Structure 1
Amino acid sequence: MTFSNDSQLDPGRVGGGGGRGVAVGGGIGGTLLLLVVGLFFGQDGIDALTGGGEDTGGSSSGQEQFAHCETGADANQYSDCRMIATAQSLDQFWEGYLPQAAGERYVLPGLELYQGRDSTACGTASSAVGPFYCPADQTVWLDVAFFDELQTQFGAEGGPLAEEYVLAHEFGHHIQHQIGTLGYAQQDPQGPESGAVRVELQADCFAGLWARGASGDTSGAVDLQEVTPEQLEQALNAASVIGDDRIQATTQGRVNPEAFTHGTSRQRQLWFWAGYRTGDLDQCDTFAARDLDNPPAL
């Protein structure tokens, strides 16, 4: 989606929010991260994350690094500014929606835009890992260079809503952390019907909720214009290229459902669409779904 040019961006949103260094019970931090880290890099991503090494970039916070991110026009031109504006839009949406839908007060997650490699409460993050949510510091970690890789390595069409979908998915993991569903990924980590897959598909559905609810919302500092059919197709395309089946076929030459952790391309599209079409949190209950290929709402 495109931001109205007069939207007011808050560069201080980067580094803001989150429970910095707060450990989550049950070993959820480091172990769960290996399941929800990134969107698609599998074992390579895990190796990169746990490999340690010195930071080559670092997270960027504060007014100076993002001084060029002032308005919606900047968000429409630069990916880092777009992430700031999208985070503000996600905050606006979930602050109003979550108490109403789930009886939970929205807790602001952290957002760190890092470059190359950085240290998190869940271990060392690498740009090879891709965007991820760390429950131990309640922060989304993202290297915006990833969006170029999404197109060049995975063949995504790109576009503003495709990038925004990625951040909305990671914020979805934070919502799961709040409502208590994130831990299912740790309890049941692999397989076509696994808790891990259901966690990821629910986060896709939550991203769809935001896309519907934020579209045309003029109540806050950032104003997302109405989503267009072309932009919606770009988001669905991004969801498709990061399905387990497509990634396995591309990287391994075969598909092994027993190793699924995120869901198929079709499932990721369907559950995003379920959230977008209904705007109803209850329709994102992937854990009650008997058939993940057929969301009840559709």
Structure 2
Amino acid sequence: MRFNPKARLDSGQVQNRRGSGGGGGGFGFPAGGGGSGMKVGGGIGGVIVVIIIIVLTQFVGGGGGTSSLPGGAGGAASDSGPVSTGGQELAHCRTGADANQDPDCARVAVVNSIQAYWQDALPDQAGRRYAEADTVIFSDQVGTGCGGATSDVGPFYCPPDQQVYLDTTFFEDMLEGQLGGKGGDFAEAYVLAHEYGHHIQNLLGTMGRVRTQQGADSDAVRLELQADCYAGMWSKFATEVEDADGEVFISELTQEDISEALDSARAVGDDRIQQKTSGRVNPDQWTHGSAEQRMRWFETGRAKGSLQACDTFGARSL
């Protein structure tokens, strides 16, 4: 993947909170028995969403394929939202040339490209206005509108504050180290595009359709596979997405880049994670879909490039 040196970057879309402590201390991460990443509680008249947090994987520190949630069981979302830094620490990320030299600037460029894509695609295909969502880069722990989170959670999207959270050590330590993925620049881009897929679901109200949170055919799995499909949609047009001056952000995307994304999708498949952590596969505990499903839905988004093609909730077979 190569960025267009002439592209103008907006560093304000990415906050750098590494080393700040994040205010996330004191929260537990209980095993959720393979939960979907959505904590719900029963209430009068139906299900009350107590705390929502969408994570890329359910693999947490070798926990046998289970999910962890910040805030503890039944915990409410934090009243004190995240502290914005305005992206000032990344002000040196000005152009695509910077993105070709600096990993943080590359993340800014990818976030800019993803958001510029949805700025046009969401109104065109769904008649809905796109609302920007910052990406917050943190280390160790962070305070969010969903409560406190640590690096063990992996990349995630928090609906209450509409932000994507990313500890970049995830790629080397977990994706490549513990899960055996190949990694690569476009592996990171896939992860970010997947999390912004959850932002699209939030804007469209799709998260409200999740009722079943576990199992191969569950709503939770459908939600995750749809986010993979949305990531594929962006990748289809990634070399065409332009900045405000009409310059494309990404000038070159190779088949090797796409292979990196597919390898990452495979690495975070429920069946692969279960096999690596417990030595057995149990579809009844799936929350994100199999390796084959995650790759296939990414490819579906890439081939079709439409929200309609990514309707996993209407699909008879996943």
TM range (shorter): 0.7 to 0.9
Amino acid at match of 1:179: L
Deviation, 1:65, is: 1.7
Within 2, Cα distance between the matches of 1:135 and 1:29?
12
2:86 aligned with 1:65, yes or no?
Answer: no
Within 1, Cα distance between the matches of 2:302 and 2:150?
31
Within 2, Cα distance between the matches of 1:218 and 1:64?
23
Q: Which residue of 2 aligns with 1:50?
A: 71
Q: Which runs of 5+ in 1 are unaligned?
A: 17-25, 53-57, 293-298
Deviation, 1:63, is: 4.6
Distance 1:80 1:74, change over 3 A: same
Q: Which residue of 2 aligns with 1:181?
A: 206
Q: Which residue of 1 aligns with 2:149?
A: 125
1:231-250 Cα deviation digits (max 9, x unpaired): 11111001000000000000
2:264 aligned with 1:243, yes or no?
Answer: no
Q: Which residue of 2 aligns with 1:12?
A: 12
TM-score (norm 1): 0.85
2:298 aligned with 1:272, yes or no?
Answer: yes
Q: Which residue of 2 aligns with 1:296?
A: none
Which structure features the higher share of helix residues? 1
Amino acid at match of 1:40: Q
1:193 maps to which of 192, 199, 217? 217
C-alpha contact (below 8 Å) 1:11/1:66 kept by paired residues: yes
2:160 aligned with 1:136, yes or no?
Answer: yes
C-alpha contact (below 8 Å) 2:146/2:160 kept by paired residues: yes
2:179 maps to which of 129, 137, 154? 154
After superposition, residues 213-292 of structure 1 pair within 5 angstroms as 213-218=237-242, 220=244, 223-292=249-318
Greater mean alpha carbon deviation, residues 252-261 or residues 145-154: 145-154
Q: Which residue of 1 aligns with 2:122?
A: 98
Deviation, 1:182, is: 1.6
2:60 aligned with 1:39, yes or no?
Answer: no
Amino acid at match of 2:298: F
Within 1, Cα distance between the matches of 2:190 and 2:2?
13
Give 3-state SS (helix, strand or coil) of 1:125's partner. Answer: strand
Greater mean alpha carbon deviation, residues 217-226 or residues 160-169: 217-226
Deviation, 1:29, is: 5.7
Amino acid at match of 2:293: Q
Deviation, 1:274, is: 0.3
Distance 1:62 1:107, change over 3 A: closer
C-alpha contact (below 8 Å) 1:48/1:128 kept by paired residues: no
C-alpha contact (below 8 Å) 1:37/1:133 kept by paired residues: yes
Deviation, 1:7, is: 1.9
C-alpha contact (below 8 Å) 1:109/1:140 kept by paired residues: yes
Aligned residue pairs: how many? 275
1:54-109 Cα deviation digits (max 9, x unpaired): xxxx9783354213322223323333222211111111100111011011111111
Deviation, 1:190, is: 0.4
Within 1, Cα distance between the matches of 2:50 and 2:152?
20
Structure whose alpha-carbon radius of gyration is higher? 2
Q: Which runs of 5+ in 2 are unaligned?
A: 17-46, 76-81
Amino acid at match of 1:164: A
Q: Which residue of 2 aligns with 1:86?
A: 110
1:97-138 Cα deviation digits (max 9, x unpaired): 101101111111132111110111111111111110011111
Within 2, Cα distance between the matches of 1:196 and 1:277?
23
1:251-273 Cα deviation digits (max 9, x unpaired): 11111100000000000000000
Within 2, Cα distance between the matches of 1:184 and 1:41?
24
Distance 1:27 1:76, change over 3 A: farther
Within 1, Cα distance between the matches of 2:216 and 2:267?
17
Greater mean alpha carbon deviation, residues 73-82 or residues 241-250: 73-82
1:23-43 Cα deviation digits (max 9, x unpaired): xxx74461x32xx22423259
Distance 1:188 1:63, change over 3 A: closer
1:143-163 Cα deviation digits (max 9, x unpaired): 112121211221211222111
C-alpha contact (below 8 Å) 1:86/1:164 kept by paired residues: yes
C-alpha contact (below 8 Å) 1:29/1:121 kept by paired residues: no
Within 2, Cα distance between the matches of 1:146 and 1:90?
20
